[in-house]
Amino acid sequence: MLNHEELQQAVNEIAEEMRARKDRGTVASYIPELAKANADAFGIAIADNHGNVIAAGDADEAFSIQSISKVFTLTLALGKVGDKLWRSVGREPSGSPFNSIVQLESEHGVPRNPFINAGAIVVTDTILSGHQPKEALGEILRFMQFLADDPSIYIDHSVAASEQRTRFRNSALANYMKAFGNLENPVEHVLGVYFHQCAIAMTCRQMAMAGRFLSNSGRNPASNFQVVKPEGSRRINAVMLTCGHYDGSGEFAYRVGLPGKSGVGGGILAIVPGDASICVWSPGLDEAGNSHLGRIALERLAKKMKWSIFGP
């Protein structure tokens, strides 16, 4: 295991390499506002279970967390309804793109897992039940602020509005599930909350802080607050490992070997169970919609630190 200075040195080197690389992937443009991201950006932050944060590059620049939000809404929904959640969403990898509709027909409107868009929309519906959209969204935002210990985390309303304007695929998914009786609330309400949760803006440092409970058996190492039971965090990590990168999940497990969740804003949250929570960000994506350099950086780091859960 490297000491603090050696880890900082390793992270600096990774950030320098990533900044210099010419292969940067493609910035998402299907949500027009996301296309404005700076393709040259690269940030990384590691929050370890001893309270240290090690960061490099653009670790303090806010980016759109997009699907990384799905880890936290899953946590909230499991806290609210427990295992009943698994009646309306599965926990198997889909092997399909993030916004795919193909499996929904043969599987009667029950999405494969909570991290593809259809599954995340069901999870948001669960959080929304019994509340107004504003309250549900407030709960999600406050949860992120609480976990990161940073009340300055905000929703980027221009990103939410941009996604709202180009929502046709997500509308199709939500309406289709509604037709199968798998959404309780009005489609427009569920989508409104979903788009705004995806539009939360955070820095790598804030996201690494927010993920700490997953590297520490469900307990926030700083406040000692038990966010979920140890069993809950183990299971969320398992779903992140198998489903967190859509149809690139196998490749991510093969190369990095850590539970991780990506978002089309170019962020990836990766968890080293027992050790640390990591966030990397680089807006250019690979074909599966996962951060190209983010994945490479995590591969470097996991190798150097012998952090893969599958062994050195």
Does the annotation mark 239 as catalytic?
no
Residue 98 touching ligand GLU (CB under 6 A): yes
Q: Smallest distance, Å, CB 170 to ligand GLU?
A: 5
| Catalytic residue of the set 11, 27, 64, 67 | 67
CB atoms within 10 A of CB 224: 8
Beta carbons within 8 Å of 117's beta carbon, 6+ residues apart: 67, 98, 99, 169, 170, 173
Q: CB burial class (10 A; 0-12, 13-18, 19+) of residue 103? A: middle
Q: Which helix (H) or strand (E) holds 138?
A: helix 133-148
Question: Is residue 209 within 8 Å of residue 149, measured between CB atoms?
Answer: yes
Does the annotation mark 246 as catalytic?
yes
CB atoms within 10 A of CB 82: 10
Q: Smallest distance, Å, CB 82 to ligand GLU?
A: 26
Q: Within positions 158 to 187, which residues make up the interface with ligand GLU, using CB under 6 A?
A: 163, 170
C-alpha dist (Å) from residue 2 to 115, 258, 312: 33, 18, 14
Which residue, 95 or 130, is less far from ligand GLU as judged by CB?
95
Q: Within positions 262 to 281, which residues make up the interface with ligand GLU, using CB under 6 A?
A: 263-264
Residue 99 touching ligand GLU (CB under 6 A): yes
Which residue, 11 or 31, is less far from ligand GLU as judged by CB?
31
Does the annotation mark 81 as catalytic?
no
Residue 117 touching ligand GLU (CB under 6 A): yes
Q: Smallest distance, Å, CB 154 to ligand GLU?
A: 17
Residue 67 touching ligand GLU (CB under 6 A): yes
| Catalytic residue of the set 246, 272, 277, 280 | 246
| Catalytic residue of the set 70, 122, 217, 262 | 70
Question: Is residue 67 within 8 Å of residue 115, measured between CB atoms?
Answer: yes
Q: CB burial class (10 A; 0-12, 13-18, 19+) of residue 189? A: middle
Does the annotation mark 80 as catalytic?
no
Does the annotation mark 264 as catalytic?
yes
The residue of the chain with the least Cβ separation from ligand GLU equals: 67
Beta carbons within 8 Å of 142's beta carbon, 6+ residues apart: none
Q: Smallest distance, Å, CB 121 to ligand GLU?
A: 8
Q: Give the number of residues in contact with ligand GLU, rule: CB under 6 A.
A: 11
Which residue, 170 or 277, is less far from ligand GLU as judged by CB?
170
Which residue, 143 or 246, is less far from ligand GLU as judged by CB?
246
Category of 246 on φ-ψ map: left (φ > 0), alpha (ψ -120 to 50) or beta: left
Q: Smallest distance, Å, CB 98 to ligand GLU?
A: 4
| Interacting residue with ligand GLU among 56, 198, 214, 280 (CB under 6 A) | 198
| Catalytic residue of the set 194, 256, 272, 282 | 194
* CA atoms of 126 and 89, how far apart (whole Å): 11
Q: Is 53 helix (H, G, I), strand (E, B) or coil?
A: strand
| Interacting residue with ligand GLU among 25, 54, 66, 214 (CB under 6 A) | 66
Q: CB burial class (10 A; 0-12, 13-18, 19+) of residue 12? A: middle
Residues that bind ligand GLU (CB under 6 A): 66-67, 98-99, 117, 163, 170, 198, 263-264, 289
Catalytic residues: 67, 70, 194, 246, 264
